[in-house]
Chains A and B, each alone.
Chain A
Amino acid sequence: MDLSRLIQRNLKKTRFIIGVVITTFILFLALFSPWIAPYPREGYGYVPLEYENRKLQPPSLNHLFGTDVLGRDLFSRIAIGASTAIIQAFTVIFLSLLIGLFAGISAAYFKGVVELVLNYLIELFMAIPAIVIALFLRLSTGPGLHVVIISLVTTWWAWYARITYVYAKSIVEMDYVVLAKLSGLSDLKIIERHVLRNIIQPITVQAISDLGSALLEASAINFMGLGLPPGHPDWGVILYEGITSLSLEAFIRAPWLVVFPGLFILITTLGFTLIADPLREDLDPRLRRRWRLWF
């Protein structure tokens, strides 16, 4: 079943449609936020000159989500933050997927020492938490997008390598692969035609659902102040600035500072999950099976 038919079939499910709507909305924000945001410069971190009169205003028609401690319009910051969120999640997953596919297929196809070493590396990198690598990178290179991307890819690639390995392992033992080998087809062609084509679909679906987890992890790193620098339009950074810039008493009176950025992380993650779950059920016949009520 190809992906477009898979998607068409799923368009009947409410969950899937909600997921598509949410994700489209966030992607739309990410692409067009500089034109949607009422104060785009503030969204990128510019502090308005008259900030004393504008700081910590509650949500109103003028400032949809209120303003922060430095008088910046929170809606603009969050809208522009959508692009940061999308960039982080997609870059991390895309790079990890590339490395993982390469490593997983090589391990399954070439066997022997390659398999042994790659499996060892997969075990190793799955055990390292991204947040401490982020701390290390932050200390040696300073803040920036690269801290988030590198630390997450370092751990995420192993996950895809393992899934790919498991799928590919069962495929390379199939008769048609053996036959292709015997008939003298080159390794690259076999991998491309027989192995990759068979596993690309389930892996893609897995990747869509992982976009949410990657966003959650990236936001946690930014929330700890390990990734992007203060002032950057990122939901994790906005949350971090929200809770560290105020005493608790003042903070109680400005709950919009944390409610909205977190809500956007939640909604975006939910959107990816809602798209991926029905697709996965379609691909996995075990999940599709109707439950007969014996019990």
Chain B
Amino acid sequence: MPISLNYVLKRTFLSILIVIGVIVFTYTLLIITPGDPAVKWAGNPRGPKAHEAVELARRELGLDQPIYIQIARFIYNVFTGNLGLSIAYKIPVTQVVYSGFTSTLELLLFTYILAVPVGVLLGLYSALRRGSSIDGFIQSFSVVLASTPTFWLATIIVLVIYSTTGFLPYGRVSSKLEITTGFQSITGFYLLDSLLQGNIPVFLDVLTRLIPPALAISVYPLGVITRVTRTLIAEALLEDYVKAGVAWGVNRTTILKHFVFRSIIPPIIQTSGLAFVYSMVDAMVVESLVFGRPGLGSILLDALHKADFRVALALVIYLTIFYIIVNTLVDIIQAIIDPRVKL
């Protein structure tokens, strides 16, 4: 195994440093943006008890203490998952974010499980037939895909599906079906839960509601991965070992499978990992406004409409942590499978 514990530890330490940086940054945002931080933290309270609520928030944040103590306290609170109750939902902020997170993650994972192989195949085909009209088509197609606004495509998809079939891909699962079959989610991943419980009607319903948003979100990874794969394979085919293999009369499929394809897996994983975290925002926009799915997007909108600063803060922090975790994992996986990465 070409990976050392030292590397993993170093990478983890750096990640924790960045997480602390993000927490400090969000706290600074709370302090330096216009308005009293205590009022923001209390959620712009109105009515007779408004004054008390603001005073309570002031004590909670420790605004009467020096700034470094405030920040240290805030960091401690984030790491213990204690960011207070959400203004909009009246349950702990951490729980709010987590409940939306599983839904969005399910959608994203579903999208990527489909989009990455398709992108790689398209790129591979394009690279092998380079210069042909199909290659030209795939290339222009991927450029157009990368320029398409996801939320716009999502709206068009809803319009087309609804006007042709009368089916409305709205929400995660039909509530009627949920009641009649007694479906209950344990992990928050509906697709997995319904399958494990053997609840086929719910499984199919969840699936049909996943496909339209996934189609819209897949635009970005599909475009990026097709392009990257094409470049990587075309480059790899120029390498001397391919030339030597062809000269020795090695079967072309063997060359492709054992040498070329193997060499492009690590960069493909890296590209997909990066695209994955970027797609998170796409998923949030699409799922909430267009498909009416509960998730991080709907939480963001609720925070907007109810002026819930606590959820806003938590979203900044936890989304960044998610980004860092995915990135760190991708780096470590890459180090494990690619012997060329020196650690």
Contacts and interface: CB of A to CB of B under 8 A. Distances in A.
B323 interface: yes
Contact of B149 (A136, A262, A274, A277): A262
A119 to B, nearest CB: 10
A140 B35 contact: yes
Contacts of B130: 291
Contact of B17 (A120, A270, A277): A120
Contacts of A219: 149, 151
Contact of A251 (B22, B159, B281): B159
Interface in B226-274: 231, 234-235, 237-238, 242-243, 246, 252, 255
Interface in A246-294: 248, 251-252, 255, 258-259, 261-263, 265-266, 269-270, 273-274, 277, 286-287, 289, 291-292, 294
A200 interface: no
B246 A129 contact: no
Contacts of B158: 248
A270 B285 contact: no
A204 to B, nearest CB: 20
Range for the number of chain B residues in contact with chain A: 35 or more
Contacts of B17: 120
Question: What DSSP secondary structure best describes chain B's contact surface?
Answer: helix
B72 interface: no
A206 to B, nearest CB: 15
Contacts of A240: 289
Contacts of B280: 129
A3 interface: no
Given A120-B18, A120-B21, A258-B156, A294 B243 contact: yes
Interface string B138-182: 000001101111111101101100110000100000000000000
B204 interface: no
Contacts of A239: 151-152, 155
A129 B300 contact: no
A128 B146 CA distance: 22
Interface string A141-179: 100000000000000000000000000000000000000
A132 B238 contact: no
A295 B235 CA distance: 12
A254 B147 CA distance: 24
A133 B237 contact: no
Nearest to B233: A295
A252 B300 contact: no
Interface string A35-67: 000000000000000000000000000000000
Range for the number of chain A residues in contact with chain B: 35 or more
A133 B4 CA distance: 37
A286 B239 CA distance: 13
Contact of A266 (B34, B149, B168, B313): B149
B96 interface: no
A132 B316 contact: yes
A262 B155 contact: yes
Contacts of B26: 136
A243 interface: yes
Contacts of A217: 281
Given A262-B149, A294-B238, A124 B159 contact: no
A248 B162 contact: yes
A219 B44 CA distance: 28
A224 B33 contact: no
B149 A243 contact: no
Contact of A128 (B22, B155, B231, B313): B22
B25 A128 contact: yes
Interface of B: 14, 17-18, 21-22, 25-26, 29, 33-35, 40, 128, 130-131, 143-144, 146-153, 155-156, 158-159, 162-163, 168, 231, 234-235, 237-238, 242-243, 246, 252, 255, 280-282, 284-285, 288-290, 297, 300-301, 303-304, 307, 309, 312-313, 315-316, 319-320, 323-324, 327
29 contacts: A121-B21, A127-B22, A127-B320, A128-B22, A129-B320, A131-B284, A133-B316, A135-B312, A136-B33, A141-B33, A212-B147, A216-B147, A219-B149, A225-B301, A244-B289, A248-B158, A248-B162, A258-B155, A262-B152, A262-B155, A262-B156, A263-B152, A266-B149, A273-B147, A291-B130, A294-B237, A294-B242, A295-B128, A295-B246
Given A223-B149, A258-B155, 8 more contacts: A131-B285, A212-B147, A220-B149, A248-B158, A266-B148, A273-B147, A294-B238, A294-B246
Interface of A: 120-121, 123-124, 127-133, 135-141, 212, 216-217, 219-220, 223-226, 239-240, 242-244, 248, 251-252, 255, 258-259, 261-263, 265-266, 269-270, 273-274, 277, 286-287, 289, 291-292, 294-295
- Top 8 closest A-B pairs, CB basis? A262-B152, A140-B33, A269-B147, A270-B147, A124-B21, A132-B316, A127-B323, A132-B315
